[in-house]
Structure 1
Amino acid sequence: MLETIYRVRKIWYMVIAVIGVPVNLVAMVILSRGKCGLSTCTSRYLVAMATVDLLTIVFEIILWRISYYYFPGTFLDITPVCSAISALGMATMDCSVWFTVTFTFDRFVAICCRKRKAKYCTEKTAAVVITTTGVLLCFKHIPYFFTYRPIKVIDNMPWDCIRKPSFYMNPGWVGYDWVTTVLTPILPFVLILLFNALTVRHILVTSRVRKGLRGQSKVENRSDPEMESRRRSVILHLTISGSFIILWSVNVAEFLYSTIGGLDQNNYNDSEFIFQHFGEILLILSCCTNTFIYGLAQSQFRQQFIRTAKYPLSSIIQLINKQNI
């Protein structure tokens, strides 16, 4: 069973890297152009989310996991290097989670708090929120660099990374790890559910009111441009946050299961071990789902994506035609 899980993880991480790197790069390019019919504020958040998703794939998947499975014994396995990669991977994954929270809150303000929208939902505010959140999360993960020790020392060079026993026994480290886990993903999970519930409630109430007013004015057969625009924005917002909730739910359930039951994650039985790694596989998938969500929810993004994907092929065809002439 463990051998099967090992093989599945090995293939899965390579698939995520092959798909995730190009789709996130393309998403960053398209969204940064601002030609998708989205506000500059929304585009800023989505670019930030695509950027940290790409960085998560680079640090957490390629440099940490794929290097372990496919390229053991390289300089990446030197203890200070792999310690830094691990800390950076966790930091970027945290940024991905919290940028989803900040984006959800921004959409909540834009939809439910119309009076504060003009002041909060701006490109400048988005830049400040993203930068502040990213810096704080990077500082938050600096201590993780010091939680590793080498597995072996060859010619005075420390190799490979393993957690120090004190990380699991020292009350300070145990408390730090528990608080870190609560901050990501438990608190974001709760906040996203709360903001989405309030947003949906506000939309339902507003929709009933507008339908009543339009019915009284006897123009119910006409389209409502404001509601259509809001509907597209809400679909994008709820799909992104809903995807996060689905893909992180197993990881959250596993944390609550081990915490409430007082279980040691290093001593899981086979079924618990499978459940834990299934949660890891799902949360890794969250690093490359947003681009597909943009394509499904935004027709203009879909058109830009197709145009960008066709560009290298069309350039090659033009080059071949020139050479033939």
Structure 2
Amino acid sequence: MHEPVTNPVYLIFYPVLAAVGIPVNVMAIAVLSRGKCGLSACISRYLVSMSTADLMVVLTSVVLSRIIGVYYPASFLSITPLCRLKTVLIYAAKDSSVWLTVAFTFDRFVAICCQNMRSKYCRKETAGAVVGIVFVLSCFRNIPWYFAFEPLYIADSTPWYCTFTSNYYTSKQWGAFSFLNHILTLFVPLILISIFNVLTVKNILVANRIRKALRSRKDGEAETDPETENRKKSIVLLLTISGTFALLWATTVVHYLYSRIANAYNYTGTDDPVYILQEAGYMLLLLSCCTNTFIYTIIQTKFRNEMKNLMKWPLVLIAQRLKQCE
């Protein structure tokens, strides 16, 4: 469990991250839900769910854990039962964000590489079912975190704050749970995303070469192929989303591996390289929850136009009201 920090860099970073992350994810949900971005209903459902999960990560990990933990350390959220519940929500939100990215990557893999499964799997109903399963499993899988903590102290019969139970570091059960949590949150998703991306890109490149050869003119010039252009856009969107996710989570993976190999579980202070690596990884991890909207804006022209229209809507509404009052 990451405890709030008081370094000036972090005190500035997390409020800025919340100020950016909340509106951009709300904007992405609003724009994508309208279904006017030229994306299939299946893709839109995944992207909406990913933005929702990212919004929950910002609200729980950034606002509830970091900002309130630093600026309001003695609030009612520090009472042990609420502190435990907050921890479960933090881990569940992160799990949902990670595995929805994997689900989206797999859906694009099936759509491009598995033509026999495409019509049955790549549907909005299937996407809705997958999203629901991911959210439910993420919540249930992280319920044990509620029982991993005990009160730091009790004042006037009220338990305050959370600290790991006395047997957390010695119990084999908790050790296995912690190890499994890191495997399912860090390594398995990154491996799956990498495998699906490699297979998808390979399939698209082979298909593009075949189509280009078949459609080439007799004089050697290739005709413009809308299908090839759509595949290129799919590659860019897929690789940008999953690639950015993998890069921003890489530092956390490095910290985890280093701390296990070097047995460096403690640090001497805020200047300790292990501490800096841990916090840098956590900052990048949370930053990944704000990048998708910017990716949509840069890559998807229709998303950009719809976002502009949505931002203009309040001004248009005000202008209409003013005209009615004249």
Tell me, in whole angstroms, the C-alpha distance in 2 between the residues paired with 1:321 and 1:270. 62
Tell me, in whole angstroms, the C-alpha distance in 1 between the residues paired with 2:272 and 2:264. 14
Deviation at 1:261, TM superposition (A): 2.6
After superposition, what is the alpha-carbon deviation per residue over 1:215-258, rounded to whole angstroms, capped at 9, x for unaligned?
26668442101111122122111110011011001111111112
Change (3 A) 1:142 1:222: same
Change (3 A) 1:321 1:140: same
Q: Is 1:110 aligned to residue 111 of structure 2?
A: yes
Tell me, in whole angstroms, the C-alpha distance in 2 between the residues paired with 1:148 and 1:138. 17
Instruction: Give, as a single letter, the amino acid of the residue that structure 2 aligns with 1:281.
Output: M
From 294, 297, 303, the equivalent of 2:296 is 294
Which residue of the partner structure matches residue 281 of structure 2?
279
* More displaced 10-residue stretch of structure 1: 213-222 or 272-281: 213-222
Which residue of the partner structure matches residue 186 of structure 2?
185
From 305, 312, 315, the equivalent of 1:313 is 315
Instruction: Give, as a single letter, the amino acid of the residue that structure 2 aligns with 1:70.
Output: Y
Contact in 2 for aligned 1:214/1:220 (Cα 8 Å): no
SS of 2:38's partner is coil
Identity percentage over the alignment? 44
Which residue of the partner structure matches residue 30 of structure 1?
31
Contact in 2 for aligned 1:64/1:82 (Cα 8 Å): no
After superposition, what is the alpha-carbon deviation per residue over 1:56-86, rounded to whole angstroms, capped at 9, x for unaligned?
1111111121111112211111110011011
Q: Is 1:303 aligned to residue 292 of structure 2?
A: no
Contact in 1 for aligned 2:150/2:162 (Cα 8 Å): yes
Contact in 1 for aligned 2:5/2:70 (Cα 8 Å): no
Instruction: Give, as a single letter, the amino acid of the residue that structure 1 aligns with 2:63.
Output: I
Contact in 2 for aligned 1:211/1:220 (Cα 8 Å): no
Deviation at 1:174, TM superposition (A): 1.0
* More displaced 10-residue stretch of structure 1: 260-269 or 102-111: 260-269
After superposition, what is the alpha-carbon deviation per residue over 1:150-182, rounded to whole angstroms, capped at 9, x for unaligned?
122121011111222322221110110011100
Aligned positions of 1:29-178 closer than 5 A: 29-178=30-179
SS of 1:242's partner is helix
Change (3 A) 1:36 1:80: same
SS of 2:223's partner is coil
Instruction: Give, as a single letter, the amino acid of the residue that structure 2 aligns with 1:11.
Output: I
Deviation at 1:115, TM superposition (A): 2.0
SS of 2:154's partner is strand
Instruction: Give, as a single letter, the amino acid of the residue that structure 2 aligns with 1:81.
Output: L
For structure 1, list consecutive stretches of 5 or more residues without a partner in the other structure: none
Contact in 1 for aligned 2:6/2:70 (Cα 8 Å): no
Tell me, in whole angstroms, the C-alpha distance in 1 between the residues paired with 2:33 and 2:149. 38
Deviation at 1:54, TM superposition (A): 0.8
Instruction: Give, as a single letter, the amino acid of the residue that structure 2 aligns with 1:196.
Output: N
Tell me, in whole angstroms, the C-alpha distance in 1 between the residues paired with 2:247 and 2:89. 24
Tell me, in whole angstroms, the C-alpha distance in 1 between the residues paired with 2:98 and 2:266. 23
Tell me, in whole angstroms, the C-alpha distance in 2 between the residues paired with 1:51 and 1:163. 30
Change (3 A) 1:69 1:317: farther
Instruction: Give, as a single letter, the amino acid of the residue that structure 2 aligns with 1:199.
Output: T
Instruction: Give, as a single letter, the amino acid of the residue that structure 1 aligns with 2:281.
Output: G
Tell me, in whole angstroms, the C-alpha distance in 2 between the residues paired with 1:98 and 1:267. 34
Instruction: Give, as a single letter, the amino acid of the residue that structure 1 aligns with 2:302.
Output: Q
Tell me, in whole angstroms, the C-alpha distance in 2 between the residues paired with 1:70 and 1:320. 41
* More displaced 10-residue stretch of structure 1: 264-273 or 157-166: 264-273
SS of 2:169's partner is helix
Aligned positions of 1:228-243 closer than 5 A: 228-243=229-244
TM-score of the two chains, using structure 1 as the length reference: 0.94
SS of 1:287's partner is helix
* More displaced 10-residue stretch of structure 1: 250-259 or 31-40: 250-259
Tell me, in whole angstroms, the C-alpha distance in 2 between the residues paired with 1:29 and 1:265. 43
